[in-house]
Structures are given as structure tokens and as C-alpha cells.
Amino acid sequence: VKACGLIVEYNPFHYGHVHHIQAAKEKSGANIIIAVMSGSFLQRGEPAIIDKFHRTRAALNSGVDIVLELPYPFALQSSELFAKGAVDTLAQIGVDSICFGSEMGKANPFIQAAYKLQTTKETFDDVIRTYLDQGYSFPQASNKAYDEIGIHHLDMTKPNNILGLSYTKTMMQDDYSHIEPLTIPRIHNEYHQEKIQHSIASATSIRKELHTNGLTEKALSTLPKQSVDQLQHYKKTANIWHQWELYFPFLHYKVMTMEKQQLASIFSVDEGLENRIKQTASTATSFADWLEKIKTKRYTQTRLQRMFVHILTNTSKEEMYQQIHTDSVPYLRLLGMSKQGRAYINKYKKHISIPIITNLKKDQIHEMMLDERATHIYYTILYPEKRIILRKQEFTGPIFSSDYP
Amino acid sequence: VKACGLIVEYNPFHYGHVHHIQAAKEKSGANIIIAVMSGSFLQRGEPAIIDKFHRTRAALNSGVDIVLELPYPFALQSSELFAKGAVDTLAQIGVDSICFGSEMGKANPFIQAAYKLQTTKETFDDVIRTYLDQGYSFPQASNKAYDEIGIHHLDMTKPNNILGLSYTKTMMQDDYSHIEPLTIPRIHNEYHQEKIQHSIASATSIRKELHTNGLTEKALSTLPKQSVDQLQHYKKTANIWHQWELYFPFLHYKVMTMEKQQLASIFSVDEGLENRIKQTASTATSFADWLEKIKTKRYTQTRLQRMFVHILTNTSKEEMYQQIHTDSVPYLRLLGMSKQGRAYINKYKKHISIPIITNLKKDQIHEMMLDERATHIYYTILYPEKRIILRKQEFTGPIFSSDYP
């Protein structure tokens, strides 16, 4: 048995993801595909368009064998800790390789760059700090730093390459050196050269189309049936697809109830950001407006969006530090599996040293699980009856691929 | 100049209140009427139907000369501390008498009862404790205690008598002994014997009619024009009239973001109530449903409603204790005044030893003012544009009676 790991968000699941699964199988020669997926809120600091359970079903129905939830403390982080949590989760479940999409689709530049970063870590950090002090934004400063230490083959302005490099760097650490980094080229907004010609669009443009116009022909051309089914089923059950603006009243309310020092205790509210948040709160008319009012060159939009998620979920620095500063992820949350996935877990589980959580039995929920709180809050924008129905999924999992829709 | 104080909520202002103002003037012989009014949230643990500014205008247009806001830490309390805050506020502004409505309309039974309570305080408390331990509810236990110490002339099952006795008890303390307690009989759901025949209904039944059917003939028959104008103007500005159910999603969200020990730090979340709150939260489908699920014999509905307001406004035990455990209210918040009211304040202000706050200049807002935070949160259910407009009133006050509507 050979297992290949994927690091995903499926927001929503589209043809690019179908391609990723197939290409990963071919490239790795694996017969088991294991995805570690962000849960309710995603790395860019946004709520997932549909919940983790519906995204899990789309994945299982598209060839993924096991879906694990990336714990919240790692999912809502910049690339370094995100990669650490994702790679560690996949290592715990025993993958032989991890396959990610990248611009060029070649692993060597990533391995070389990761090696270079390892040997020049101090120079790299110094250079970044110097440029930050000169007033450059973090992305600008790190681009210049990559350049100075001689990483030219990777375009480090591309988010996928940033993540890919972080995965590769993590996999070069001793604990993970048995895992092979694989990469496949990303296919852009063009026709995918297969028997069936599908449109591969970015998840961002698909979400925009869905939120603005719904499941139009244009949206449908980018989404496999397995995903459309889940989007429709979710809409029928929850009444909505999630987006930040729906959380704005709650975020605003939350900030109104907090004094500055309480705000400053929230993870990633650093360097006096609590003052800017308070100053801009009373005149913000929407989430987009608030972001616009609060942003500075120093902080990227995703950095601020993640911060707003932590405020929304009331996640303190203390809670996050407890979980980040450990050697491994604290548990494996199993969202779903295929028949083969189940057989794999039954065989492999004696090698797993951390708890496997298949569903939240009521007496088992502990405060450590920030995912659980985040998911509760994810559903908060729904009508109470809808919220209660969807919330039950936490207790009835894991999902089997035969459970349909 | 003689000033008479009223302790009010005006939720909403109705013909009973018009009668109260006129009768207080007659009974006291005062030429200045000063009302201390609860602000955004009221003693029974409910949001006011329209905001404090609009209720202030209705009062000023109906013969009240000065409206002061009862600070939040006293407004959201059971009768004892509510009375303490209200009487102290009126004492600070220099009233000669305080006139309250009661069932019988005679001051003597209150004075006698207050005197009896003072001399038998320990017995009274012991009796209550004994009955509470036997499983009686607090209202039942205190009724039995009143009976045992010989208070028979006052029906202590009537909320107005409970409050009236608390006012009288407070006024018997040394600091307030120069203030004369006056009472007028409450006029019930029957025709008021004046030239114009108006219907005097309870504020509760008026609110019910307004929320259910709007400004119907029935509602209009109970409300003077000054009040109708403000209700209409508020609806036009804010789109809504306030009620608990509109806050339910925010309250629920708030509880979801809090761990048990955080909940227990909120004022009045005592004796393990945090467990009941958490247990009942996930299945509550409305505010009324939540109250129903959480209630026990031990806690009255108003006690629980006040607790929910404190959770909604994130008011901690620490914040409340700081303000309650002082000798006087911390400031006078002046919401509005008539020409005579202004003259009175100008003349009397040299005798006032605490700050008079006429509006919140931006640099003047301090964390001490829980009112300010509560008002922010009061508006949280409005569309952002509406919220921003109404919020501005905090900075442009006080209101003069000539400003109309």
C-alpha cells in the first residue's frame, strides 16, 4: 500500500482539483489518496463557501480516500505554520509522498530553494528585517530576500510557490525526510487537455460567480457534478453560501464588546493593531469597507483577514501558543473515508501515536479543539433551525464515500 | 426653586407617564421635574423599544425638565441597587422629593415598612435564607419574610411596591434624608378621569401591540402624540423597534465564543449558571426558547434576562464591582433638558461634586462608562448606515426640548 498526501481547501471543489487527484495518483504511484483539508475557515482568512462536511463528500466522491481536518491553529496561519500543520498531519497518517500544485511543476527548484534557505536562514531573516525597516511590505521584503540569497528559479510572488516552498522546507526536516515531495504543474484558466474538455478556473473567480449569480452555466462549466451536488445540497439545507460579509454584523458586535486590552489578547492582534481596529470600527459599513479602512502597507489583506477570523472566533494568543508550540499536531480529525481509506486506517492505526477523532461525542469535546468552536461560529449566521441541523454533523461523522449526497 | 425627581424607563412613554408628571408636580409643588431614566437596557433585562434619545425627547415634550441617564451598573440590577443608583443620581442633582407610582398611593405604609425592615434587617435576611434553603423561589421567600416581620399593608407581590419600598428604604439613609418620598396611585387599565379620556394601559401590553401589529388604533389610544412622534421617527431612522429576539443571534454567537470560565467572569453568571447556559445554547431556537430551557425555580425570568444582557454587553464582575461599590454614582449623564432645566442646572451645578457629562466627546470616552458600550451594542442589530447615524447622537447631545422631533 502506498499513500500520497494532498494539502487542500476545496473552496469549492472544482475541475482543477479533479486533475490534482488524478495527477497525484499517476505521479506517486499511490493507491491511497489522503487529503488534509482546512475546516470552517481557510488559510486566506475566509469562511469556506460550504461546510467541511459537504466539501468532504465532494472529495470522497472524486477519488480521495481519506479526508482529515487541518486543526484550526495551523489552518489560519501564514505559509510556514500552515505547512508544518499540514505536513505533520499527513506524516502522522503515514503518507509516502505529498503532491502539491506549483507554477512550473518541477520539484527540484523547491528542493534546491529549501536547501538554500536552510543554509542561509540567518542572512535571509536579516535581509527581510532590513527591508521591512525601510518600509517595504512583507511580500516585497521577502521577495527581495529570496533574490539576494539566490533563489531565482521560483517566482516567489505566486502564493502557490510560497506554499510549495514551505511544504518542501518542512519535509526536509528530519522527522519528515521519508516523505517525498512531488509537484504537478497548475493548469490555468484554459482548456484542460483531456477527453472531456472542462474549464479550469481559479477558486476565487468561481466563488465570485457563485455569490453574485449562483450556479450559472459559467459556474457549472468549472465544477464537476460531485461538487455541484454538494453546493446545491448545502444551499438547500443552510439557505446560504458562506462569505465574510454575512459575518460582518457579528464581527462588528464582537469588537464593540471588547476593550482594547481584551482585543490585544486575541491571536495576531499585535503591534497596537487593537487601536486601529477600535478606531475604524464605528464607521465601517461592511467587511470590505473595514478592511479598506484598516489596511496599511505593513499588513497584507490575508494577514488582516486571518486576524478578523481570530477575533470572530475569540481565539486568544494563549490558546494558540499552547497548540502551535508542540512537536506535532494534537490529534487527527477524520472527516471522511472511502472503503479503501477505512481499510488503510484499520491497518495503519497501530502506528499512530495521537488520538484519531472520528466524531465529537458530547462528553469528548474539550476546549483544546478550537476547530469545534470555529465550526460552531461558522454556522452562527444561519437560522437557528438550520444551524442545529448542520451542527449535528459533528456528532454523526465520519462520512463514508457511499453516503450520498 | 423646588425640584421633584422621578425614576422612569418610558418604554415607551404613555398616558400613565403624562399623569405621573402632572400628579408629581401637584403633589410636590415643584416647578422643576427631573427624571432619571434607564438608558439602552432596562431593569427587567430588556432592550428599550426605542433609544434613550428618542425617549428623552418624548419626556421633554411632556413636561419633564431634565433627563439623566441611570448608569448601566445600577440600571440592570434588582430593586435594591437600582433604587440606590436612581435615588443617588437624583440626590446629586439636588431634588427635594421623589415621587413614585404605587398600588395604594400612600407614602406612609412604605415609610413604616422601610423602618421595620431597618430594625429587623437580620431577622428578615435569615427568614429569606431559610425559605430559599427550603426550595422556595426568591419572590416566594421574600414574601414570606415580609409577612413574618409584620409588613401587611403593602402587597409585596407587586413589582411597583417592591421598587417603591426600595426607594423609600434608600431615602431613609442619612445621605438622602432631606429628600421627601411621595407616591401617587397607579391608574390601571381603565379610563383616566380627565377632560380628555385616554386609555391607560401597561407598558408591557403596549409594547406587545406595537411589536405585533404596529401603531394601531389600539396602540394610539394609549400613547400621547409626543410619544407617537418619537416612535415613528425612530422607526423611520432605525427601521425597527427593539426587542430581545433581534439580539438572539448575537447573544447566541457570544456564548458560542466563550469558554465556561469566561462566562463565569460575567456579572451575575453565578452558582454554576455557566454550565446551564452552555448546555442549553446549542438547541435554543429563539430567545424565548432559551429562557424556557434555562429557567429554574431559583431564578426569576428578569434575573435571567438581566444576566443575558450582561453577557450580550460582555460586562464582567470586575467592571461592575468597581462601580457599584462606591459611595455615589460616578457621574451624571445629562441626556436632555428644557429651558427651565438648563437654568436650574446652571444655578445648581456648583453644588454637584461628580462630573456632568453632556455628550461624549471622542477623547473623553473612558472605559468606566459601561453605558456607552451598552448603547453601542444596543444599536448593533441595525444596518451599518443606520447604526452610524444613531450612534452620532451620543456626541451631539444634550437634547433641548425645543429640538423637535
Which amino acid is it at B235? Answer: K
Average pLDDT on B302-320 reads 96
Average pLDDT on B158-174 reads 90
CB–CB contact B249 A252 (8 Å):
no
Q: What percent of chain B has pLDDT over 90?
A: 69
Residue B199 pLDDT > 80: no
pLDDT interval class at B153 (50, 70, 90): confident
Average pLDDT on A52-56 reads 97
- Inter-residue contact B362 to B102 (CB < 8 Å): no
Average pLDDT on B161-190 reads 87
pLDDT interval class at B132 (50, 70, 90): confident
Burial B286-325 (b: 16+ CB within 10 A, else e): ebeebbeebeeeebbeebbbbbbbbbbbbbbeebbeebbe
Residue A235 pLDDT > 50: yes
pLDDT interval class at A215 (50, 70, 90): very high
Q: Taking the model in full, what pTM does it have? A: 0.89
Which range is least confidently modeled, A183-187, B15-19, B273-277?
Answer: A183-187
The DSSP H or E segment spanning B184 is strand B180-185
**pLDDT of res. A362:** 59
**pLDDT of res. B143:** 85
Which range is least confidently modeled, A73-77, A354-358, B342-346, B375-379?
Answer: A354-358
Which range is least confidently modeled, A117-126, A182-191, B83-92?
Answer: A182-191
CB–CB contact B373 A250 (8 Å):
no
pLDDT interval class at A160 (50, 70, 90): confident
> Each residue of A75-87: pLDDT tens digit?
999 999 999 999 9
pLDDT interval class at A364 (50, 70, 90): low
**pLDDT of res. A404:** 46
Task: Name the residue in chain A with its Cα closest to that of B381.
Answer: A249
Contacts of B257 in chain A (CB under 8 A): 254, 312-314, 373, 377
pLDDT interval class at A188 (50, 70, 90): low
Task: Name the residue in chain B with its Cα closest to that of A372.
Answer: B256
- Inter-residue contact A50 to A61 (CB < 8 Å): no
User: Mean pLDDT across chain A, nearest whole number?
Assistant: 90
User: Distance between CA B363 and CA B353 in Å, rounded?
Assistant: 22
**pLDDT of res. A141:** 87
How many Å lie between the alpha carbon of B261 and the closest alpha carbon of chain A?
A: 11
The top-scoring range by mean pLDDT among A33-47, A188-202, B294-308 is A33-47
The pairing of beta strand B180-185 with beta strand B97-102 = parallel
User: Distance between CA A182 and CA A204 in Å, rounded?
Assistant: 25
CB–CB contact B253 A250 (8 Å):
yes
Contacts of A385 in chain B (CB under 8 A): 285
pLDDT interval class at A405 (50, 70, 90): very low
- Inter-residue contact B103 to B369 (CB < 8 Å): no
Higher-scoring residue by pLDDT: A273, A192: A273
Of A100, A106, A101, A83, nearest to A153 by C-alpha is A106
How many Å lie between the alpha carbon of A309 and the closest alpha carbon of chain B?
A: 12
Residue A403 pLDDT > 60: no
Chain B residues contacting A via beta carbons under 8 Å: 248-250, 252-254, 256-259, 282-286, 312-314, 367, 373, 376-377, 380-381, 384-385, 388, 391
Average pLDDT on A198-212 reads 88
Q: How many residues does chain B have?
A: 405
